[in-house]
Structure 1
Amino acid sequence: MQAQEPVFLHLTEKNGLPDKEFYSIVEDSKGFIWLAADKGLFKYDGKKFKQYTNQHQKGLSVFGVKQDEFNQIWCNNISGQFFYTKNNKLNLFIDLSSKLKGELADFAIGNHYLWVFSLSKVYQISLKSKEISTFLIGDKDLGNPFSDKKAIYFQSKDSVYRIDLGKSAKLHSLATHLPYRTKNNSAISQGKSIIFKQDSESFLVQSRMSKNIFFRFNISKNRFKKIKGLEAVADKRIYAIFSNNNEIWIGTNKGVWMYSYTNDKFQFKKQLFKEEDITRIVKDKDDNYWFTTLNSGIYIIPNINIEKSSILSENKNISSLDKVNDSTLIFGLTNGKIGVYDTKKNSSKIITLPTNDRVSSLIYHPSNKIIVSKDRSSYVVNIKNSKYTKVSDYQAVKSFLIDDNGNLVSTNYYSVKLVRESDIELDKNTLLTKRKIISTGKRTYTSLYDKQNKEVYVAYVDDLIVYDSVWNSKEIQYKNKPIYGKSITKTNDGTIWVATFKNGVLGIKNNTVLYHYNVHNGLTSNNIEKIKADKDILWIALENSIQSLNINTKQFKTLTKNEGVLSYDISGIEIVNDRIYFSSSEGLFSIDKEKSFKNYHPQVYFNQIQINEKDTSITSSYNLKFHQNSIKLGFNVNGLSYNTKGRYKYRLKGFNDKWFLTDAGENAVKYNSLPAGNFTFQVQPSLPSTSKASTIKEINIVINLPFWKTWWFITLIILFITIGIVLYFKSKMRKKERERVVELEKLSLEKEIIAINLTALRSQMNPHFIFNALNSIQDLVLKQDTEASYDSIVLFAELIRNALNYSNKDFIPIEKELRFLKVYLQLEKLRFGKEFTYDINYSENIEINVPSLLIQPFIENSLVHGLLHKSGNKILTINFKLMNEVLQCTIIDNGIGRVEAAKISKRQGNHHESYALGAIEKRLEIFKKQFNGNIGYSIEDLYEKNLSIGTKVVVLMPFKRQF
């Protein structure tokens, strides 16, 4: 009898394994897997492998990986170097190359010592001082050590020795009853012996005369007894012996040999990995079994209670499945064959039918017949003798069912038909009158016969129909919508369960949907392949897992490929005693109803912290600056299973107290721009509600406010603002004071201007000017030139009137100023006669206002001092022009010049001032202060060949634009 094999995973370099040649393996106290390999030491956290090396290491290969009482990992190499891990580094402890001389020694750690076992010596090395002591043993026959918490055991010659690990190490000889020499005095034992324990029993295996001999020894009685039952591995090279409950697993050059040990006997159970060199075997905290090999990577059995049946690869693609009895299953294959499988013997019989088209459905009939439907043919097969009869009425059937009377109901792509038991093997033509057509014209998917209520459920392409015992039909809907069924079953409580294509699982009673399960309340997917009831348990094959649902407690249990599920492409489910069988595209496999589901207690830890995209050492709390607010937190659960399917619950208290769930396989969360504040990041593995909640791990994060938001800075700013406001208002007060002073000065200036204007008026209206004007008018009257006299009087009156009107105004339109000057010059022309000519020009197109009565005194000076004493033509030119925001007035005369005028004035003793230059200068200074511009006047004597030809006066005055 060939036992079923457990489903295994095979890790190789193709899927990320860092090597293919492994010598040792251990799981540490935190759940990390450590591997000693040809390419070095590696640590596996469930997602990735990390290599550990040391710069003084001689070669990469390491061996004998072990963990000490301080949770440090130790290993050694063939060069005699011993290493340990600390602070996430591989450290060289000691180099014994001079003592071991190329011998690969085994070692143990205990009682604060490193114990090294060569072929003839045991070295005791203090872990603290590295002081070396030596135990000398007679011959070179030391075996591999076996250690527990109290002692280290090893074998030499015919004895087993014990090193007590108490306060002081003591060496004891436990037995001397093993023959170790042949008659010709040659050594019997070859190679190193191995000591192992099974429960409370102790065993020893020696290689004698190229054969492995097993002994059981009693420590208290110092007795050895040769035992039998392990003869199959007598000629095999034994690498490792692993005790698993009441079994012994022996790793050899021909795979793993599994033996049970009961009543002082070993009983062979099965052999795994028959062509592999299995160097070590380890069971991790999640009950995954690891098998390291010399040249084929690592094998892992994730669930020892999930097994695959021994079916040849060409017959593994199963398309349909049915149960005959508690020891027999039948199945149909895509290659057209059918099989009969013995669950007790794990053996199958394949029956070849004439055509090789796919078996679409089959069913066992109580008359020892198998009704087989293919895509294009159908057969009835006798299960006892494998003889078959071809029939023509069951092609492309989606499902069969048999009622209480043995009648056969078949559903296919077009119809639902009923055939009586006695007519099952009749030809189609005969059946035409003996079959009953239930429906036609509609594709079906599956069906179910409810024995209790004598009802038939049929899932059509567009609805779900229930038929009573006389085939009256009724449609069942959910929320007034059709139900698209894919698989139907019934539990003991009378609930009909329908698996849908994309809407989960529906539970129906009295033709009403009472239960609905989907991804929101327990399912891993809404797409269901098959369902099967086992009393009150519902087995559900989904697109991404296999689940069981206890309909009473409403609790789910889940299995995935990483826990040993062979395939998700499930074509059938059958219950046989304590096992559930699944047919799939990868063959037939089964799971133990109770033992297959593991009780996980995953413990999460933080494995990465990044702040602003940079890795940071992991601590329990962080105090960060305001700009250090991009934070990535990585976390992990050690082990093979969790990280491939597990999810994590997390939240950031202080930011959002709501729990969130990561996607499967995701184990990091990033916050790109956190605000300032106090936060606590919490994370824990997300487990089914039936599992015990895992411990929450947390990290405290403080992100400080930017300095401009801190209380001291805000206080400082308020202080500055207060001071600023005070200073501002003081400045405003000073400004107002200055404005008041300016206003007073302005009033003073205005008073002064008025006084100057009055002075100017008095100067312009001096008696000499009035006398000359009146004499000129008198002359005209005496000459009886009435018209000219009248004109002169009018001009004089206009001049006096305008002088009086303009004298109290600062600015007047330029056209009025020009008119005033023209009137003045016309009167002066009466005095000077025809020899006097003048020209006044303003060619700008801009209308402006100019200071009143400012130019007339300059013209009067030109007339009195320059032109009066000149003989011949007297010419006066006056030009106004805008330049750089000032008005320029240029007065040019062709008079005698200032030098000659001064001489005449001195001779005549004439001190007449036609205009008070002090007053006009004062007025221009006031304008300069008011308008802050280039305002003033200049006088230039004009010469030609050193002869005076006149005077040029340039006056720069302000102006205002007219709007």
Structure 2
Amino acid sequence: MIKNIFLLVLVSASFLMQAQEPVSVHLSEKDGLPDKEFYSILEDENGFIWLGADKGLYRYDGKTFKNYNSEKQLGLSVFNIQQAPSGLIWCNNISGQFFYVENNKLNLFIDLGKQLNGQLADFIIKNEYLYILTLKKIYKVNLKTKSIEYNQPLTQRYGSIFKIDDRIYYENLNSIVPIVTEKKNKVTNLMSSRKESDTINNYNKNTKIFKVSANLVFRKDNFNSNRFYSINKSKNTLNLIHQFQVLSKERIYNTFENNKEIWFATSTGVWVFELKRNHFFLIKRFLKDRNVTNILKDKDDNYWFTTLNNGIYVIPNITIETCIITEPNKNISSLDIVNDSTLVFGNTNGNIGFYNTNTYVEKIIKLPSKDRVSKLKYLSNSNTVFISKDLSAYSLHINSLKLTKIEGARTAKSLTLLNNDNLLFTSYNSAIVLEKSNFKNEKKYISGEKRTYASFYNKINQTAYIAFVDNLVSYDNNWNSKKILFNNQPIYGKSITETANGTLWIATFKNGVLGIKNDTVIQHYTTKNGLTSNNVLMVKADQNKLWIALGNSIQVLDVDSKQLKTLTKSDGILSYDVSGIEIVREKVYFSSSQGLFSIHKDQSFKTQNADVYFNKVEINEKDTIITSKYSLKYHQNAINIGFNVNGFLYNQKRKYKYRLKGFNNAWLITDIGVNSVKYNSLPTGKYTFQVQPILDNTLGNNKIKSLIFTIRKPFWKTWWFLVALSILILGSTILYYRKKIKIKEHERVTQLEKISLEKELINLNLTALRSQMNPHFIFNSLNSIQDLVLKEDTNASYDYIVLFSKLIRNTLTYSNQDFIPLEKELDFLNIYLQLEKLRFGESFSYNIHFEGNENLEVPSLLIQPFIENALVHGLLHKVGEKKLSVIFNFTNSILQCTITDNGIGRKKAEEIANRQGNLHESFALQAIEKRLEIFKKQFNQNIGFTIKDSYTNETVKGTTVVLTMPFKKQF
């Protein structure tokens, strides 16, 4: 019995080497795939595909890959993606961190790095708890409190954590043990002991248990050799499964149960076994040169395969398969059917081949010349294949493989068998009937010097049809011709066939597909009513279904219901460059430049319900929160709405139907791949945007999704604004005249204030003049001059009399002017200080300086009182050297005068004044303060002065006056 099983496995494996493979689509960097190394894959309840990769966690919505990461993440790689009962997506990493996705962010749940010590642990979420299985312990973590409620130690632990019938199990050395999730649960081992002959030692962490239908299978990896056992729960025993012997040396990453099939993801691709009569049979193997790490079947029956270093492969349709044709013979130029298990094809290398659709074996027949096989035809009566090549022609007997050369039949465009077994041969320049009996004798010319593309013969009506370069022509039994027109225009055909209802179908170059009866076009299919292109390559009838090969898809038309279904490369179509179509039982075979592939007539067209959702709403080019209703201002009228259907490449082959009610109630259809609509400058009003997915030009059960927008009127068009505007105009008129009266009154008051200020300023100027003409100063000056006269210092006395007279004259002159040039002020101060120096003697020195080159005017007679204060109160009583500095500084449009002396300071000066009984404020400072206040009002500037003493080691070293003064610029 065992020997027979092993023989069965070997036969199955040998048979599989020739099996057809499902067509896969390779997703890589050019498709936007963000990584090439993947470990885990999951489809969530909303149809999103989640990928655990070397570079992080990603979510695929059918169009883009979104990355999720956390600032607290140690390392980018994530593993073991799961969806908890709450709907949250979970994963973990080698660093012992466990994450979940919530609010579109990856959040760290718990960090068990110290406990796990670099071990990538298995985990399962159940009943508000996170169960983590390591080599030595089981951790139970409360999802709400994050507390570890127990860490049960394990004496022996091999294999992974898994769930069967809503119970969590782990496998150790001698049993398969459930994890007790509640105290009331009774511990019942799935298998508590084994027969001595089945005791398995030296397990490692790759031990797994999986289900196939109702059967439990136990896999162990013992010294890098896989062995598989079926678990008999009733007898509590293990039975070795011999059919999996071919996997003994394979590195198995994961398993995937698919109905009664078990799929193995291994380092040498995918192995598929089917369970029949309690035995496993190897039925498929594909992606043989890829490290396949995980397998997923999504809601649309697409199969996903993650790999190490090769990105992701997707099989959109498991029933669309590529036939195993050797590489040199894949470029097939012609195809025909021999019987219900054999196809014959010719290729561009000049050879022909036979393909067995049962055993999946090809047999290549090499022909003498290497020129391309342009067309071939199987002739059942003689069991021969008529072969027309570019430069020659042959007849091949299938049984004897006898090859006979035929003259004058090269470069065929079409070969059609007639009622009397004659052959209608059309080429690039003629249409000929070749008589039977090896086609060597008589030839009947139907047409000459005209290119043809296709031909067809209706045996019932005995009518032949030929598609010429300039027209479609029908011929009766006597070869009388008749042109067939469509809308009084020629028909340019490429391929001709006939369905069971008697309709002749023509594939055209740019006018879609035409259905003809009684030489009249009765049906017409274009892109307007379902075709994906108006350039049709080939048509082939199968009862009342019409298979249509186009440059961008393969479609099938049910001529009774007039429904079209579509398959594209995203569905697994190998190539659009179709050179032949043949029907073999439940499959349709297509030849192409990429080889031979088949489509299951019924199973290849998947029923799909597309659930559309809104993924973007932009208002005036700014993202906003997606909600069901929007109330917008009148200027928020540029709206961009994005929508999507989750699923593999949905947006690369499907369309959407949409409209904006309130703006245009007519439904519109997007182009393929377009999943957003933008409206610019919408007028005010209420709108409802509706969108619905279209599958194969039908709406099916797909729901309409809606958004409501209200764009409010601008405030100036509302009734309340118009009423308010009327009131405002009336009130404004009243206010205007009131304001005008107030302005007049204000101007009158201002004028009066100006006159008052001018009077006050005149009085202040007179006060300043009186302070400048202080009798004490005049007396001192005259005494000093008299002293010079008595000393008979005639020259000096004369000079000082001149200076004194100049000072008096300038004082009288400047007292009548509000502003004088700065240089005159400097000159005035210099004369004054020269006279004072006569009194103070050689111990007194002074410095007057202006730091700037602007032409300025300053208030007249404003500085001298401050200088006199410095002299009288600061320097007069000082013993030793007496210094005075007067510095003008003009910076940032501010004019300041800094007067610095090295006198005795204000405190000592006040003490001396008190002793002398001089209690009044010296030299008209009160008048100066009032004058500065007036200037402050006039110029609206910060004008004034500050006085402070300077100290060295708490000893007064002098006094500084900083005067900020108004100015005018000279032009």
Quick check: 1:150–1:166 contact (8 Å CA) kept in 2?
no
Shift of 1:725: 10
1:921 is matched with none
Quick check: 1:141–1:192 contact (8 Å CA) kept in 2?
no
Instruction: Provide the aligned C-alpha RMSD in A.
Output: 2.2
2:240 is matched with 226
> Which of 33, 48, 51 is the equivalent residue of 2:67?
51
Quick check: 1:3–1:345 contact (8 Å CA) kept in 2?
yes
Quick check: 1:506–1:515 contact (8 Å CA) kept in 2?
yes
Cα separation, 2, equivalents of 1:690 and 1:150: 40
Shift of 1:440: 1.0
1:90 is matched with 106
Aligned-partner residue type, residue 451 of structure 1: K
Quick check: 2:581–2:590 contact (8 Å CA) kept in 1?
yes
Aligned-partner residue type, residue 49 of structure 1: F
Cα separation, 1, equivalents of 2:668 and 2:205: 58
> Which of 291, 300, 303 is the equivalent residue of 2:317?
303
Aligned-partner residue type, residue 32 of structure 2: G
- Same amino acid, percent of matched pairs: 52
Cα separation, 2, equivalents of 1:168 and 1:684: 50
Is residue 416 of structure 1 aligned with residue 449 of structure 2? Answer: no
1:485 is matched with 493
Aligned-partner residue type, residue 518 of structure 1: T
Shift of 1:313: 2.1
1:270 is matched with 284
Is residue 33 of structure 1 aligned with residue 41 of structure 2? Answer: no
Quick check: 1:153–1:195 contact (8 Å CA) kept in 2?
no
2:166 is matched with 150
Shift of 1:678: 1.6
Question: Map of 1:397-546 to 2, 5 A cutoff?
Answer: 397-424=412-439, 426=440, 431=441, 434-546=442-554
2:760 is matched with none
Is residue 361 of structure 1 aligned with residue 375 of structure 2? Answer: yes
Quick check: 2:198–2:238 contact (8 Å CA) kept in 1?
no
Aligned-partner residue type, residue 83 of structure 1: F
Cα separation, 1, equivalents of 2:372 and 2:78: 53
Inter-CA distance 593–692: structure 2 relative to 1 (3 Å threshold): same
> Which of 633, 639, 658 is the equivalent residue of 2:647?
639
Question: Map of 1:666-685 to 2, 5 A cutoff?
Answer: 666-685=674-693
Quick check: 1:114–1:126 contact (8 Å CA) kept in 2?
yes
3-state SS of paired residue (2:243):
coil
Shift of 1:554: 0.7
Question: Map of 1:541-552 to 2, 5 A cutoff?
Answer: 541-552=549-560
Once structures 1 and 2 are overlaid, which stretch shifts more, 677-686 or 663-672?
677-686
3-state SS of paired residue (2:100):
strand
Structure 1: gaps spanning 5 or more residues: 730-963
Q: String of CA shifts for 1:601-639, please: whole Å, max 9, x gaps.
A: 011111111111111222222222221111111111111
1:81 is matched with 97
Quick check: 1:111–1:167 contact (8 Å CA) kept in 2?
no
- How many residue pairs are counted as aligned between the two chains? 721
> Which of 641, 658, 662 is the equivalent residue of 1:654?
662
Q: String of CA shifts for 1:365-398, please: whole Å, max 9, x gaps.
A: 1212111111121111222243322222111110
2:592 is matched with 584
Question: Map of 1:86-485 to 2, 5 A cutoff?
Answer: 86-134=102-150, 136-147=152-163, 150-163=166-179, 171-178=187-194, 187-219=201-233, 222-366=236-380, 367-424=382-439, 426=440, 431=441, 434-485=442-493
3-state SS of paired residue (1:363):
strand
Cα separation, 2, equivalents of 1:248 and 1:706: 66
Inter-CA distance 248–297: structure 2 relative to 1 (3 Å threshold): same
Quick check: 2:475–2:482 contact (8 Å CA) kept in 1?
yes
Cα separation, 1, equivalents of 2:186 and 2:625: 44
Quick check: 2:158–2:203 contact (8 Å CA) kept in 1?
no
Is residue 628 of structure 1 aligned with residue 673 of structure 2? Answer: no
Shift of 1:675: 1.5
Inter-CA distance 672–181: structure 2 relative to 1 (3 Å threshold): farther
Cα separation, 2, equivalents of 1:19 and 1:619: 33
Inter-CA distance 687–215: structure 2 relative to 1 (3 Å threshold): same
1:612 is matched with 620
Quick check: 2:395–2:438 contact (8 Å CA) kept in 1?
no
Structure 2: gaps spanning 5 or more residues: 1-14, 738-971
Aligned-partner residue type, residue 23 of structure 1: Y
1:892 is matched with none
Quick check: 2:160–2:205 contact (8 Å CA) kept in 1?
no
Is residue 695 of structure 1 aligned with residue 703 of structure 2? Answer: yes
Question: Map of 1:566-581 to 2, 5 A cutoff?
Answer: 566-581=574-589
1:555 is matched with 563
Question: Map of 1:662-811 to 2, 5 A cutoff?
Answer: 662-688=670-696, 692-720=700-728
Quick check: 1:600–1:691 contact (8 Å CA) kept in 2?
no
**TM-score when scaled to structure 2?**
0.72
3-state SS of paired residue (1:418):
strand
Quick check: 2:68–2:105 contact (8 Å CA) kept in 1?
yes
Cα separation, 1, equivalents of 2:719 and 2:195: 88
1:780 is matched with none
1:5 is matched with 21
Quick check: 1:6–1:301 contact (8 Å CA) kept in 2?
yes
Cα separation, 2, equivalents of 1:248 and 1:174: 21
Cα separation, 2, equivalents of 1:251 and 1:410: 52
Quick check: 1:462–1:483 contact (8 Å CA) kept in 2?
yes
Cα separation, 2, equivalents of 1:170 and 1:110: 17
Q: String of CA shifts for 1:578-612, please: whole Å, max 9, x gaps.
A: 00000111110000000000111011111111111
Inter-CA distance 622–668: structure 2 relative to 1 (3 Å threshold): same
Shift of 1:657: 1.5
Cα separation, 1, equivalents of 2:632 and 2:619: 9
3-state SS of paired residue (1:79):
coil
Cα separation, 1, equivalents of 2:463 and 2:397: 29
Cα separation, 2, equivalents of 1:264 and 1:120: 36
Inter-CA distance 357–304: structure 2 relative to 1 (3 Å threshold): same
Cα separation, 2, equivalents of 1:271 and 1:116: 34
Shift of 1:691: 5.4
Quick check: 1:157–1:180 contact (8 Å CA) kept in 2?
no
1:904 is matched with none
Q: String of CA shifts for 1:136-158, please: whole Å, max 9, x gaps.
A: 35434232122257222221112
Aligned-partner residue type, residue 556 of structure 1: L
Aligned-partner residue type, residue 488 of structure 1: I
Quick check: 2:654–2:696 contact (8 Å CA) kept in 1?
no
Q: String of CA shifts for 1:503-551, please: whole Å, max 9, x gaps.
A: 1111111111111111111211111011000001111111111111111
Larger of the two Rg values belongs to structure:
1
Cα separation, 2, equivalents of 1:357 and 1:167: 80
Cα separation, 1, equivalents of 2:159 and 2:694: 47
Cα separation, 2, equivalents of 1:238 and 1:163: 26
2:904 is matched with none
Quick check: 1:150–1:165 contact (8 Å CA) kept in 2?
no
Quick check: 2:589–2:599 contact (8 Å CA) kept in 1?
yes
Cα separation, 1, equivalents of 2:665 and 2:281: 58
Shift of 1:684: 1.4
